[in-house]
Structure 1
Amino acid sequence: MENHLLSTFKRAVKNWWISLLVGIVAVVVGFICMFTPFATFAAITLLFVFSFFVGGISEIVFALSNKNVIHNWGWTLAMGIIDLLFAVFLLANLDIAPLMLCYFIAFWILIQSIWGIGMAFDLQSVRNSGWGWVLALSILSVFASIILLFQPAIAGLFAAYIISFAFIFYGILRIFLAFKLKTLVKYLPKDHDEHRLGE
């Protein structure tokens, strides 16, 4: 059982760059929102559409390319589909009210953060020392989403900044996770080479 799990993660490492791409896009979106808080929400919404579209396509590619080796690949596929649905919804509602946009983004970040928590425990199961950081960043993202969801007064007043920090936290999480996946091979037994993975 453990050998199968180790093999699964080693073969999945080849697509570590997808998580990196999603993380970079999220961080860039976060900083743009932070330094242009007075930009029209239509422009910000278009930025989110681009972010969700890139993230959704990346997640779907990752899931489908690893469906034969990742036990829970369906969850990643679902996340990608949700991202694309969010992109379509926002594109059709560019004039969405600022507070509604906060709720919308908060819900998306909450879903992604819960996925990150699950990924942290997956990393722990293969004795990866970075799982704690992934867990911590995911929990911080959960807190940010909860503030957006359950503190509408604060969210309405500091909408752009809260969304910015939430995206930045999530982006850092995905970037950190990407590099942990890239270096995961160092933590695996050397006898788990590519030839044996094909057996």
Structure 2
Amino acid sequence: MKALQKLWWLTLLRGIILVLLAFFVFRHPVEALVGVALYVGISLLVTGIVKAGASFSLRNTIPNWGWGLAGGLIDILFGFVLLSNPALTAASLPFVVGFWIIVSGIMSLAEAFQSRKEANSLWGFGMVSGLISIVIGYFITNNALVGMLTITTWMGIGFAIAGIVNIMIGFKLKTLKDF
């Protein structure tokens, strides 16, 4: 805890950077979405390299190591594809997110029906949340602008909340007494 107390300013600095990043996301949503697309592309590239390297280096100890190698190579391929045209990736991101929300909503509906069969009195909440998810996912996938604004708005809100929390923790660490 003493190390955290001594470096309280790093937590404060991280919070300030996150709040500034939130302002950037709100002011420049398209650029923020392109940044997310670049991040996803780089992440896939790095994880693909690690997966492929680990699978290949452990080929004598892991049965079916070829599947891990294949998965790593596919990640590398997708990473290159996403990085080759970040604008196209950013444009398709709302469709991917919207589809994911629709699938999550369908899963919530299925769980709600199963809960109803099991006489769970809270099954209605699952039903409502599933239907809301499907509707939101529909709007995101059918209107790219709405999808882009939804994604960037939630990103900005997340950065702002994380930044404020880090700033509060930084100041709290500064004022803590040695114990």
Q: Same fold (TM over 0.5)?
A: no
- Which TM-score band applies after superposition, normalised by the shorter structure? 0.3 to 0.5
TM-score after normalising by structure 2 = 0.41
TM-score after normalising by structure 1 = 0.38
Larger radius of gyration: 2
The structure with the largest helix share of the pair is 2
